[in-house]
């Protein structure tokens, strides 16, 4: 990855911690002390098994947590402002206009009774001063073209679209207000392999053409290798490892990253046996003492079950939270 200097940092997340406090139940410590930086035009992969806190981290930084969700500590610096300190109207000015999100399962969230074109126009109206129909129509067509949907489809309803087209329409909505950062939360999970590849190519092109910074949340390490510059590996709500993509694939330091990679097919190493990680991620209400990965870790030793490992810097931008890297 090209080393970019810090003035290119567009989003700087520091020590973000998020709880869910369901009524009458113990709080879920869903995200703890996660920090990362995103540079202009950079794609960061966010990976980790189900329940590791990926969606919570993203909803938290957009301040879109569901009821019961609460930011406990942390800063989200975006273009010189800490988003956590903004008033709700100020934050409304940032969402979609500066940072937008394609939600997990989003393609099913289109409204069935409005045409796709109208729904994209609706997203535009959130931040565009004009209400002039001709101007809005032109921009809707421009956005449809950007995501590869024919102009003739503008006045159709979501049920007339295929799954891949619905996902493209959601991407068009996310791009409506020219954001600098787009968060894509598993944007291809429900799509077949061919359509998935097309959507990924679309996102790569948009990044190149528009200079977008993208946070790409996924379970698919193959996609990460292809798309991303940097990778944040989360486990049980904490950062297991963060590094540029080559380091993650060639010199993973955290046993969780190593196990995740062993569970994925690698085309360059045909015949290699895939091994699933036995067991499940921990409950977080509260998390177990020590390292959260200890119960499943093939390299576990005594200290792991007693003391929580802190994040340790291994090199330029490479951090991991494992006692093995500090001893």
CB of 54 to Mg ion, least distance (A): 5
Nearer to Mg ion, 101 or 144 (CB): 101
Nearer to Mg ion, 104 or 128 (CB): 104
Q: Pick out residues in 85-104 that bind ligand ATP (CB under 6 A).
A: 104
Q: How far is CA 275 from CA 137, 146, 272, 293, in A?
A: 51, 40, 10, 17
The reply on whether position 52 binds ligand ATP by CB under 6 A is yes
Report residue 103 as tokens. 């939600």
Tell me which residue of 79, 60, 71 sits closest to 12, measured CA to CA: 79
The length of the chain, given as a count of residues: 327
Q: Pick out residues in 247-276 that bind ligand ATP (CB under 6 A).
A: none
CA angle 280, 283, 289 (to 5 degrees): 105
Cα–Cα distance, 293 to 304 (Å, whole number): 9
**Looking at 16, 30, 76, 165, which residue binds ligand ATP (CB under 6 A)?**
30
Cα–Cα distance, 217 to 6 (Å, whole number): 24
Nearer to ligand ATP, 22 or 265 (CB): 22
Q: Pick out residues in 58-87 that bind ligand ATP (CB under 6 A).
A: 66, 68
Q: Which residues contact 116 (CB under 8 A, 6 or more apart)?
A: 110, 149, 153, 154, 156, 157, 158, 161, 169
Number of residues located near ligand ATP, criterion CB under 6 A: 16
The reply on whether position 56 binds ligand ATP by CB under 6 A is yes
With CB cut-offs between 5 and 8 Å by kind, which of Mg ion, ligand ATP, none does residue 20 bind? ligand ATP
The reply on whether position 20 binds ligand ATP by CB under 6 A is yes
| Upstream peptide bond of 131 is cis (omega within 30 degrees of 0) | no
Q: Which range binds ligand ATP by CB under 6 A, 50-58, 123-131, 194-202, 267-275?
A: 50-58
Tokens 């969606």 — which residue?
A: 55
With CB cut-offs between 5 and 8 Å by kind, which of Mg ion, ligand ATP, none does residue 284 bind? ligand ATP
Contact (CB, 8 A) for 292 and 282: yes
The reply on whether position 50 binds ligand ATP by CB under 6 A is yes
Q: How many CB atoms lie within 10 A of CB 327?
A: 7
Q: Which range binds ligand ATP by CB under 6 A, 22-30, 137-145, 266-274, 289-297?
A: 22-30
Report residue 216 as tokens. 């790409």
Tokens 């002390």 — which residue?
A: 33
How many CA atoms, within 13 angstroms, populate the side-chain half-sphere of residue 260?
29
With CB cut-offs between 5 and 8 Å by kind, which of Mg ion, ligand ATP, none does residue 52 bind? ligand ATP
Cα–Cα distance, 191 to 187 (Å, whole number): 9
CB of 295 to ligand ATP, least distance (A): 15
How many CA atoms, within 13 angstroms, populate the side-chain half-sphere of residue 167?
23
Nearer to Mg ion, 104 or 305 (CB): 104
Interacting residue ranges for Mg ion, rule: CB under 5 A: 55, 104
Nearer to ligand ATP, 32 or 154 (CB): 32
Is the four-CA dihedral 14, 44, 192, 166 of positive or negative sign? positive
Q: Which range binds ligand ATP by CB under 6 A, 44-52, 95-103, 141-149, 318-326?
A: 44-52
Q: Which range binds ligand ATP by CB under 6 A, 7-15, 46-54, 150-158, 317-325?
A: 46-54
The reply on whether position 28 binds ligand ATP by CB under 6 A is yes
User: Site residues (CB under 6 A) for ligand ATP?
Assistant: 20, 22, 28, 30, 48, 50-56, 66, 68, 104, 284
């Amino acid at each position: 990855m090209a080393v970019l200097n810090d003035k290119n940092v567009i989003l700087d997340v520091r020590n973000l911690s998020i709880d869910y406090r369901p009524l009458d139940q113990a709080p879920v410590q869903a995200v703890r002390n996660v920090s990362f930086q995103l540079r202009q035009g950079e794609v960061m992969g966010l990976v980790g098994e189900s329940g590791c806190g990926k969606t919570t981290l993203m909803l938290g930084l957009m301040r879109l947590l569901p009821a019961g969700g609460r930011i406990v500590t942390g800063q989200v610096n975006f273009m010189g402002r800490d988003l956590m300190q903004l008033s709700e109207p100020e934050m409304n000015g940032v969402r979609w206009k500066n940072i937008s999100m394609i939600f997990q399962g989003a393609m099913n969230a289109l409204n069935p009774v409005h045409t796709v074109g109208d729904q994209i126009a609706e997203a535009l109206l959130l931040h565009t001063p004009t209400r002039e129909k001709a101007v809005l129509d032109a921009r809707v067509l421009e956005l449809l073209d950007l995501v590869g949907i024919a102009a003739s489809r503008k006045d159709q309803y979501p049920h007339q679209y295929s799954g891949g087209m619905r996902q493209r329409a959601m991407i068009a909505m996310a791009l409506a207000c020219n954001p600098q950062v787009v968060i894509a939360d598993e944007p291809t999970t429900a799509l077949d392999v061919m359509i998935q590849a097309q959507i990924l190519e679309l996102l790569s092109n948009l990044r190149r053409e528009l200079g977008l910074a993208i946070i790409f949340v996924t379970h698919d390490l193959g996609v990460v290798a292809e798309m991303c510059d940097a990778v944040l590996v989360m486990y049980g709500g904490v950062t297991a490892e963060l590094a540029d993509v080559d380091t993650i694939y060639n010199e993973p330091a955290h046993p969780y990253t190593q196990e995740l990679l062993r569970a994925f097919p690698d085309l360059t190493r045909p015949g290699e046996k895939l091994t699933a990680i036995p067991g499940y991620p921990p409950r977080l209400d509260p998390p177990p003492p020590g390292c959260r990965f200890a119960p499943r870790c093939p390299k576990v030793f005594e200290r792991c079950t007693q003391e929580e490992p802190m994040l340790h810097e291994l090199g330029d931008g490479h951090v991991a939270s494992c006692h093995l890297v500090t001893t």
